[in-house]
Amino acid sequence: MPETPQPLVQPDQLIRHLGAPDLVVLDARWSLERGAERRAYLAGHIPGAEFVDLDQELAAPAGPRGRHPLPPVESFAAGMRRHGVSASSQVVVYDEVTGAAARAWWMLRAAGHRRVAVLDGGLQAYLEAGGRLTSELPAPRSGDFQTTGFESWVGADGLETCRDQGTLVVDARARERYLGQPNPLDPRPGHIPGAVSLPWTDLFDRGRLRPAAEVRRLLGESGAGDRPVVVYCGSGVTACAVLLALEVAGGGPGRLYPGSWSEWAADPSRPVQNPAAG
């Protein structure tokens, strides 16, 4: 498959290149309610796709660093090799537009692998374009993927430093969570002081990323135009969809706060801004 420098690939392009020797397709289906969708993968997936488990392979176990902290780099690299990823691989990741594919995209990019793209519109767009599914598991293959670590992220302490230096902090959660309305997901309601709200779902229309000009407008309205930004969400998953949109739109450099609100709000020493509290 030709190298895809853009972070998105269209369904018809993927369909044309299925079976190419340098193509690795990863099924990252996951939902907040059910977790990793391995059963759905086994029932039917894009031919040749390997299942990547967000909870087990794209994150370390939940704990003080949040619900989906970054995994040890060695285990991530080993997982990518098991899925056949090599230095020369063009990787395409898909999901059902829940943010999981964007998380896989971000992690591979942060680990130094540039030839990776997200399937625009996810599995539904692939089916609408005439793609077929199979329950046949791909033949095992191993890759030579190597990395020395993740870049383009900051921890909680680094986030405060970035904010003090003028970096814009973007909250990608639903706006009601940003505004501090109680919900079962957040240890404390509210948001990181000084953060602006840009729900990741605002950047998508029926599962597809909005046109670049519209994404630029939405980013600009939030203040995330040409400024350096750090994005967080509930647990470091859907924030990656904002970073994906930022790159598509040619915006300023973006970094991920992986611990996100699940780490920040669980630490009583971290300040919280809660508009709902008055």
Show which residues are catalytic.
233
Burial 204-224 (b: 16+ CB within 10 A, else e): beebbbbeeeebbebbeebeb
Q: Is 217 in contact with 198 (CB distance < 8 Å)?
A: no
Dist. CA 275–CA 278, nearest whole Å: 6
Q: Is 88 in contact with 177 (CB distance < 8 Å)?
A: no
- DSSP letters along 113-150, please? ---EEEETTHHHHHHHTT---B-PPPPP-------S--
- Alpha helix (H) ranges present in the chain? 11-17, 38-43, 54-57, 73-82, 100-110, 122-128, 156-164, 175-178, 212-222, 239-248, 260-264
